[in-house]
Homo-oligomer: A and B are copies of this chain.
């Protein structure tokens, strides 16, 4: 039986470990604190369509390839663990000014012109025959869909096929699934991949991946989120994920059972897990422009994480040498990209290839510069 070491216990590493163990590998997962990194800080949006933009076809197609895998992935997890990780069925992006409204039309035109096979709405109010593409809403349409939003909202873009998941429930379910599949957890920091005697290694260390493979173009992109809890005096949370741009900054509100995850700031400051006063202020101020009653929510938690950024906002999934597979650099989309990444890693482990993951080839930057000094080790 072949042995596999997975380095990193975020959702990418956990899902790769789970799938590999089920496929017959003897899997050891190394992480000093499983699930405590950016997977723990995430919002859980699955919104590749709403984040589409002309020219970024590869990102749209890669994200959509993962989105269509989510129903089966979540169903498998639920069968094993009893946990349903979904927390919302749809995503609504709103515009607060004319420029944003024009952008929503641009996104809709771009995305709806694509053929995205397999896309269906999870929401049972959208009949199977109906389009799962993006829909433009006017002011009245937004108000009808989400009455608690602010009066400054003038247009919306509804994605009926973009749900959201509870990232922490997902971490928990993946741990359970790994344990059930026989994955061995080692609460250790790996100092060098050469210390690992395993037949194969999956490097899924997120923003820290470059520490184990110098030159790998993955860098930390700091983000802060707030977790808010509903109080009796507060308006009910939106039923959908709400996304907007306020003061030029992106803001999102993801429903949770008892509240809202509010994110996310974005800074290029290296590794820095401190929540800043300015970050908290910006998130609250921006959210109030979208959901005026949010001040009545309980301020339950503020937390920062390091997204694993890549140069082109697509991840790196592929062999770095004949033993080590990288699965990192997922940026803001690690939760979304989990199912397609797990499938791609499993294909690589069994000497196959997942066509949809070609855009994530880690060697795509190599022409520009000698990016992998580690590759010669």
* Cβ–Cβ < 8 Å partners of A279 in chain B: 299
Contact A275/B298 with A281-B281, A284-B281, A285-B281 known, Cβ cut-off 8 Å: yes
Contact check, A276 vs B302: say whether CB atoms are below 8 A apart.
no
Asked if A99 lies at the interface with its beta carbon under 8 angstroms from chain B, I say no
Asked if A196 lies at the interface with its beta carbon under 8 angstroms from chain B, I say no
Asked if A363 lies at the interface with its beta carbon under 8 angstroms from chain B, I say no
Contact check, B298 vs A274: say whether CB atoms are below 8 A apart.
yes
Minimum Cβ distance to chain B for residue A23 (Å): 44
Asked if A57 lies at the interface with its beta carbon under 8 angstroms from chain B, I say no
Minimum Cβ distance to chain B for residue A93 (Å): 22
Report how many copies the assembly holds.
Answer: 2
Contact check, B297 vs A228: say whether CB atoms are below 8 A apart.
no
Q: Scan A299-317; emit 1 where CB is below 8 A from any B CB, else 0.
A: 1001000000000000000
Q: Scan A146-182; emit 1 where CB is below 8 A from any B CB, else 0.
A: 0000000000000000000000000000000000000
Minimum Cβ distance to chain B for residue A261 (Å): 13
Closest to A262 in B: B277
Closest to A287 in B: B277
Docked complex Cα distance between A7 and B248 (Å): 54
Contact check, A277 vs B296: say whether CB atoms are below 8 A apart.
yes
Partner of A276, one of B276, B278, B281, B296: B296
Asked if A74 lies at the interface with its beta carbon under 8 angstroms from chain B, I say no
Contact check, A296 vs B278: say whether CB atoms are below 8 A apart.
yes
Asked if A231 lies at the interface with its beta carbon under 8 angstroms from chain B, I say yes
* Cβ–Cβ < 8 Å partners of A229 in chain B: 274
Contact check, B275 vs A299: say whether CB atoms are below 8 A apart.
yes
Contact check, B277 vs A299: say whether CB atoms are below 8 A apart.
yes
Q: How many residues of A contact B (CB 8 A)?
A: 22
Contact check, A299 vs B302: say whether CB atoms are below 8 A apart.
yes
Asked if A295 lies at the interface with its beta carbon under 8 angstroms from chain B, I say yes
Closest to A284 in B: B281
Docked complex Cα distance between A288 and B278 (Å): 10
Asked if A280 lies at the interface with its beta carbon under 8 angstroms from chain B, I say yes
* Cβ–Cβ < 8 Å partners of A231 in chain B: 274, 276
Asked if A294 lies at the interface with its beta carbon under 8 angstroms from chain B, I say yes
Closest to A301 in B: B302
Residues 99-115 of A contacting B (Cβ, < 8 Å): none
Docked complex Cα distance between A142 and B276 (Å): 27
* Cβ–Cβ < 8 Å partners of A280 in chain B: 280, 284, 299
Docked complex Cα distance between A302 and B303 (Å): 12
Which among A226, A277, A278, A280 has the greatest number of chain B C-beta atoms within 10 A?
A: A277
* Cβ–Cβ < 8 Å partners of A228 in chain B: 277
Minimum Cβ distance to chain B for residue A335 (Å): 24
Residues 213-246 of A contacting B (Cβ, < 8 Å): 226, 228-229, 231
Minimum Cβ distance to chain B for residue A54 (Å): 35
Minimum Cβ distance to chain B for residue A348 (Å): 41
* Cβ–Cβ < 8 Å partners of A302 in chain B: 299, 302
Listed from nearest, the 8 A-B pairs whose CB atoms lie closest are A278-B295, A274-B298, A275-B299, A281-B284, A277-B297, A277-B295, A280-B299, A277-B299
14 contacts between A and B (CB under 8 A): A226-B277, A229-B274, A231-B274, A231-B276, A274-B298, A275-B299, A276-B295, A276-B299, A277-B294, A277-B299, A278-B296, A281-B281, A284-B284, A299-B302
